[in-house]
Amino acid sequence: MKKIFIIDTNVLLHDANCIFKFQDNIVVIPIVVLEELDTFKKRMDEVGRNCRIVSRILDDLRKNENKLSEGANLANGGILKVMLSDMNALNDLPQELRNPTADNRILALALSLQKAGNKVILISKDLNMRIKADALEIEAEDYEVDKVNIEELYSGVAQIEISTDQYEILANNRKLKYEIDNLFSNQCLIINSENLQQLYGIYDKKEKLIRLLKYDSSKVWGIRPKNVEQLFAFDLLLNDEIKLVTLVGFAGTGKTLLALATGLAKVLDENKYSKLLVSRPIIPLGKDLGYLPGDVYEKLMPRMQPISDNLEFLFKESNSSLSASGELENLIENNVIELEAVTYIRGRSIPNQFIIVDEAQNLTPHEIKTIITRVGANTKIVFTGDPYQIDHPYLDSDSNGLTYLVERFKNQPLAAHITFRKGERSELAQIAAELLG
């Protein structure tokens, strides 16, 4: 018997193509979900885009197939239906749920289909919706196609033990032929050998060798790495052969600071890239960015305050003669640094730039894909974020684009990753991050 998957609005807002991911079963979109989607369609962010894509998909099915109310055939063998809510079915709900809200109408439809003898599963990213469904004995699941177990997220670091002979070769030649199946491309290594001093290296899986860090004594824009994780991060960020770097960790671990320092060094000191592009997702709280007064710079600066704070620190440490704000404005005016909301990256081609995408945990997997596919020749891109601090209403620590990216790219020769676990902002910040979780 085919299962019936009832899709909540938030699932379509998260992934417009979700209707094709339920195999050869029946996918039901309640009509009230279309009403809710209609309120989002004019937004200029990923949510609005997904609304418009869903509408186009349904319209194409409507043109090419039978009526959606009767069921349209999907390419994967499934069937899509748009179903009206039976308002009388609200009476089958407990008294507390008989108010005809969108959620209650969806629950009423699910309950009526279930009572008709169907195997019904409600798919929703709304935790409370799943709890209410469970209370009604309706099976409910989160949408988990892009899920990553955050507790098992790839750390980017491994410890290995080598012989004293291998240790001597590595220490003298700064590289060592070494083959082991369970290491990934560009994985950072803490290398032990009996009682000898630890060495730090990167694994080149293609060449099957370990190389010691190239930049282990580097001072970049006035700062040096304060722990092993930052040491590895500097090496990955300064290596032009690695085109994509992901930095994950809680606030205060130095993710953004290290990315900015290396970006400034590559753009201003080495002239390796023509521009430093810094971007953050703008999560609307009330009015969207376009409603704020002022030009683009004035609109973005309040959202870019963490970037300004880090730049101020870097300018101070590098003994810059100008103030952070004055230097930043000067570099922006000269088009050396560009501050951009993620929303406006779509459709661009971005060659020869050092890109930093901060707060990337607030991006969906599709937004991550959209950004990376904008990358042109000789561009390096760095994603930073804390998967435990998410402001996006339809994402969590397991389903956001940053963790998805880490897992998907962990064995790619052009990519590398580090998970930061030690805070360096202050002792108080470190303790707060640990105790206040």
Instruction: Retrieve residue 214's tokens.
Output: 């190239």
Whether the CB-CB separation of 382 and 236 falls below 8 Å is answered with no
Task: Delimit the CATH 3.40.50.1010 region(s) of the chain.
Answer: 3-141
Give the pLDDT score at 313: 78
Give the pLDDT score at 184: 95
> In angstroms, rounded to a whole number, what is the distance separating the alpha carbons of residues 268 and 313?
17
The residue-averaged pLDDT of 266-285 equals 85
When pLDDT is cut at 50, 70 and 90, the band that residue 318 belongs to is: confident
The residue-averaged pLDDT of 298-303 equals 60
Cα 343 versus chain centre, distance: 14
The residue-averaged pLDDT of 346-370 equals 89
Q: Please, what is the average pLDDT of the chain?
A: 87
DSSP secondary structure, 280-335, as one string: E----BSB-GGGSSS-HHHHHTTTTHHHHHHHHHHHHHTT-SS-HHHHHHHHHHTT
Give the pLDDT score at 42: 86
Give the pLDDT score at 378: 95
Give the pLDDT score at 427: 67
Task: Delimit the CATH 3.40.50.300 region(s) of the chain.
Answer: 223-435
Give the pLDDT score at 286: 41
More confident site: 38 or 324: 38
β-pair partners for 340:
279
H helices of 84-135, where? 102-115, 127-135
Q: Which CATH architecture fits 3-141? A: 3-Layer(aba) Sandwich (3.40)
3-state secondary structure 177-228: ECCCCCCCCCCEEEEECCCCCCEEEEEECCCCEEEECCCCCCCECCECCCCH
Give the pLDDT score at 287: 43
When pLDDT is cut at 50, 70 and 90, the band that residue 324 belongs to is: low
At residue 344, does pLDDT exceed 90? no
Whether the CB-CB separation of 230 and 425 falls below 8 Å is answered with no
Task: Confirm or reject CATH 3.90.320.10 for domain 223-435, answering yes or no.
Answer: no
The predicted-structure confidence for 130-145, as pLDDT tens digits, reads as follows 999 999 999 999 987 7
Whether the CB-CB separation of 410 and 154 falls below 8 Å is answered with yes
